[in-house]
Structure 1
């Protein structure tokens, strides 16, 4: 434990003045040199005090007259962190800034703050816009770094980290992670001192329960917990399931409360402090019975009220979606997972890290002597699958009991996904101005977590990156191990007789030298579900779980390339869903060829990058803008683009929301209620709409669509006026 001495560091004095004494991982970080500017990574369970490690480093930066940046995955978490920092250090003369959106603004208004709390995406946006204050950073805290493995957001976070390190050579990086497998890989990549702790403030006991009636099982578990004066978190795949279960539990939970306790809840809900909190009528009734549902459809104030009431013990049960698990500090005695499937795709499993982040909420320090984590499954077969996928089974000290211990995932890079790679190539061109593909590959991409892991992973393909033009051979090299490629080049892998040679299918008989014939083919045809048929082989394993082709397909690909040339260069990349990032950028006129093999980012490309538009969004925008002639067309385009960015399906209720906000004085909450929308969703859609309207106006102006530019700016100004936002002159900003 850190002790008070004559040479006590000024940061420790600040902490002491507000009653904080570093311990555990915080003390470890101090001993590892965090106060001297050392970069630190902490991998430890929920509730172990990681956040304070970040605070210590941020205080060090401000005392050295530098700025601090705190990055988090969610807006709600950013607001929570900013509030905590301001309450703790605002009286110490340290100013705290918060920025969670407004991708179309420069961020210069943040220059006056000592510490800025923001989301990953906003930090990325600030880098793309070259905010003038970024070089004055001394410390950056990356919270929940396990988001690197997120299929949608991971590549942007990876790129953001690389560019921050490039911008400030002596930058202190503080990397915070829930418990993960192989944390030393991230620590080595970022040159951080690694601190690993598996100590939980409360012991966790996990169970897998097979049941044919999950709702009844959840009720039994919740009531057992509540009747013993505990609290329970129930995690569901969907909002509807969370709301439905809360309704089923409320009456029974409410019967465990005294009349006085219910009066206290009602008094809290009616207090002056909570007058402005927008609560759906059904949720307010549930809260009266000490029960709530919690998801991103609720507005921020409603979610915070629920969390505060739960922390104070005034409500006992929350039925939530996975949004509650991402960094929000809300422990409970018992945590139940109703499903291990992804909210967006029932056929996809949640990662081990996601599962254990939710289960890790079990156990409330100071109230419980242990936490209980339960996963509900529908059969014994599913129980075996879940046990094998998410746990290590260890024999207890009695030699008989089988204890479930968490099995964590290694973090993996998502930079190599097609749209992500194309977007980050555009980011690189904006950074370099003009460059060859090789310079970019050997520069910023060589510093990526993707390349760091590939040189250490025996399962990495022969060709990790293909930024330029693609061919049959480069596509095969992206999906084959080095030994297979070398054998194919030396013609010792197998012999091939081509049978199919069309512009959609290449196939043949592959005979291996050890004996045996295999029917292999690359098909660019579309299957009935709209997906490409892809590679096929009679060996039964055309592609393994790492995306590596069987040797028979490797041999077929090399033979086809040699014999068919251009046809193979067309079919095989399509069959393997390979695209050329450079080809996409040039086709969209975001970059153009220059001299000596260099490519130059265009004015359009620079604007697209700084507006923070994804490749699917700008592709659709460029295609549809010329046909957007009326206000109705503009609203349709806006709905289409918002749906792409939000990953949701929108109907006419979205049009009515935007039109209502722009043309009436009706409150957003009332409009949302009338249209059957959740308030939180309504505000999120409007925020995304403002950003995309600014983008439409900027791209329209470049394209010479004057009427569309005017219409989009008029609609943006109407939304800003109704929402109390300050509009910026988008035309001037993007020139």
Structure 2
């Protein structure tokens, strides 16, 4: 439907300038419901269906009427992608666009000068903790990939960030987007928004399961397709099937190591089966990757794979390398990418075929391999189908036998997507966010605290009784450990210790450990002081954890002799003691970093990749 038939004239004029003459169904639905000019909404619609533009037309209307918009995403990579897109669109219109994803100990007052602010949930949370004046000036908030509220690690932060923003600015317009929301009504109730579900896809999706034993794809419509076993590796044979007809393939592997190995398997197969691709462009891509600084063994491996028309993609790669791979894939220089599931988390990178190598992955919360959820499957499957290039997109999960293939097809094709469920009831997460809330409201009354908590998804789903049970033990901890104190009138005031803990965006347990260690640090022999301090940092709950490989054990044990524990093991929280040995390795990594050792050497010596080193 024409933009001029549905949109306010001033918005329609700008979309026409952008070369957009017709709206996709999700955009049409937003316009038909009168939600361009005003109103909150939660839009659930498949990947590539036009969700972002649906949010943009509403935000653009507000901007044209002296509004200010914050666009919130779960990952820095998505923030960078949106920033480049929005800057190209909005700055020619006279609107200032700014991205903020960095320092967590900053109020970012200068952001108030900008019209469109793109940030991550964690960064917005840190900004709210500093309470800048411009938060009250925001008129529109877009919460992208809102299903991340279901994530056990990051979900509580997303949920509390949304709740605190709405509390600080009750009139702010709320727009939430996701491809996978089973409990749309519940999520909409949380955001006091209108639910919109549009299942339309620009490219139809066909789901199948490949039986390794039978060498056949079982399709959801009952059809079957025999696949030539050219290599004996299911994901590679499925890739060859697609690229021979001009398609591109995304292969999802459960681990980084398997993704790297998979890229080389595909590259060798493309060469062995004389699959044609632009080798001159591939050589230019290789040179571009090798020119990135600092040059590491991981980048050399990536360049080697790209020479054969395939690449790997995971969070251990430097950001610029990931972007280079993504752009090469969009231009058709690369025929296949072997990736970890992080690529499915919002980055715009469609392919004709998505292959899911394994339906299991390591689940840290369970401490074992576990099947991926239906939601995770559809996040990956959503990348299948290139608008304007493919008549149909295909998502294929690999199974060991026909029986398993039939079961997986039932589970992931016909199975219901799991609802988004609050994870704020985790006591450790809850007390961290309770502290930030008390700091924000200090001196806070019980009503101040409950008012914000009533704006959470947890309150909507579990009710007042569950939320009220979480408060006493968390508050007892915060008062006992000196983060919060009781003042007159039964109010709660954050101490300086509590304020800085919240502003520095660290776990209260980390703050306690650092405070306790600092009391003993100067009494430790100067020769081992630095190593002991670095080991303590490696133990902090906030710190990145890296396992110790068998070949590293002698070096780690040698460094262990240099360390005098700043906190006796018996005084450490139980969850921290499990990382004692890996913290020694992290101390070695940190020392190498401080001494400006080349990243290539750190990667080679400790297996810590550039993307992890910089994150």
Kindly provide the CA deviation profile for residues 138-160 of structure 1, in whole angstroms up to 9, marking residues without a partner as x: 11110000011111111111111
Query: Aligned partners of 1:145, 1:209: CA distance in 2, in Å?
Result: 31
1:298 and 2:298 are equivalent in the alignment: no
SS of match in other structure, 1:434? coil
SS of match in other structure, 1:336? strand
Q: CA deviation at 1:613?
A: 1.3
Q: 1:190 to 1:109 in 2, by over 3 A?
A: same
1:234 and 2:251 are equivalent in the alignment: yes
Residue 507 of structure 2 contacts residue 542 of structure 2 at CA under 8 Å; is this kept in 1?
no
TM-score (normalizing by structure 1): 0.70
In structure 2, the partner of 1:477 is none
Q: CA deviation at 1:651?
A: 5.8
1:634 and 2:565 are equivalent in the alignment: no
Q: 1:24 to 1:251 in 2, by over 3 A?
A: same
Which of 666, 671, 681 is the aligned partner of 2:612?
681
1:264 and 2:281 are equivalent in the alignment: yes
SS of match in other structure, 1:347? strand
Residue 416 of structure 1 contacts residue 465 of structure 1 at CA under 8 Å; is this kept in 2?
no
In structure 1, the partner of 2:422 is 413
Residue 150 of structure 1 contacts residue 414 of structure 1 at CA under 8 Å; is this kept in 2?
yes
Which of 419, 441, 449 is the aligned partner of 1:432?
441
Q: How does 1:139-150 map to 2 (within 5 A)?
A: 139-150=140-151
Query: Aligned partners of 1:363, 1:205: CA distance in 2, in Å?
Result: 9
Query: Aligned partners of 2:327, 2:435: CA distance in 1, in Å?
Result: 43
Residue 352 of structure 2 contacts residue 385 of structure 2 at CA under 8 Å; is this kept in 1?
yes
Q: 1:425 to 1:68 in 2, by over 3 A?
A: same
In structure 1, the partner of 2:223 is none
Q: 1:360 to 1:319 in 2, by over 3 A?
A: same
Larger Rg: 1
Residue 206 of structure 1 contacts residue 372 of structure 1 at CA under 8 Å; is this kept in 2?
yes
Q: CA deviation at 1:441?
A: 5.7
In structure 2, the partner of 1:557 is none
TM-score (normalizing by structure 2): 0.83
Q: Which deviates more, 593-602 or 419-428?
A: 593-602
Query: Aligned partners of 1:366, 1:194: CA distance in 2, in Å?
Result: 29
Kindly provide the CA deviation profile for residues 31-56 of structure 1, in whole angstroms up to 9, marking residues without a partner as x: 22333122121100001011112222
SS of match in other structure, 1:246? helix
Q: Which deviates more, 343-352 or 300-309?
A: 343-352
SS of match in other structure, 1:133? helix
Query: Aligned partners of 2:208, 2:531: CA distance in 1, in Å?
Result: 54
In structure 1, the partner of 2:564 is none
In structure 2, the partner of 1:221 is 238
SS of match in other structure, 2:233? helix
Query: Aligned partners of 2:545, 2:288: CA distance in 1, in Å?
Result: 37
1:320 and 2:339 are equivalent in the alignment: yes
Query: Aligned partners of 1:344, 1:620: CA distance in 2, in Å?
Result: 27
Greater RCO, 1 or 2 (C-alpha within 8 Å, sep 6+): 2
Q: Which deviates more, 380-389 or 357-366?
A: 380-389
In structure 1, the partner of 2:358 is 339
Which of 452, 460, 464 is the aligned partner of 2:460?
452
Q: CA deviation at 1:66?
A: 2.6
Query: Aligned partners of 2:90, 2:207: CA distance in 1, in Å?
Result: 38
In structure 1, the partner of 2:483 is 590
1:115 and 2:116 are equivalent in the alignment: yes
Gaps of 5+ in 2: 216-231, 523-528, 548-581
Q: CA deviation at 1:237?
A: 0.9
Residue 26 of structure 1 contacts residue 50 of structure 1 at CA under 8 Å; is this kept in 2?
yes
In structure 1, the partner of 2:56 is 55
Residue 250 of structure 1 contacts residue 291 of structure 1 at CA under 8 Å; is this kept in 2?
yes
Residue 617 of structure 1 contacts residue 645 of structure 1 at CA under 8 Å; is this kept in 2?
no
Q: 1:135 to 1:232 in 2, by over 3 A?
A: same
Q: 1:109 to 1:212 in 2, by over 3 A?
A: farther
Q: 1:257 to 1:625 in 2, by over 3 A?
A: farther
Which of 635, 646, 654 is the aligned partner of 2:544?
646
Q: How does 1:62-101 map to 2 (within 5 A)?
A: 62-101=63-102
Aligned residues: 553
State the superposition RMSD in angstroms: 2.8
Kindly provide the CA deviation profile for residues 512-571 of structure 1, in whole angstroms up to 9, marking residues without a partner as x: xxxxxxxxxxxxxxxxxxxxxxxxxxxxxxxxxxxxxxxxxxxxxxxxxxxxxxxxxxxx
In structure 2, the partner of 1:11 is 11
SS of match in other structure, 2:419? coil
In structure 1, the partner of 2:469 is 466
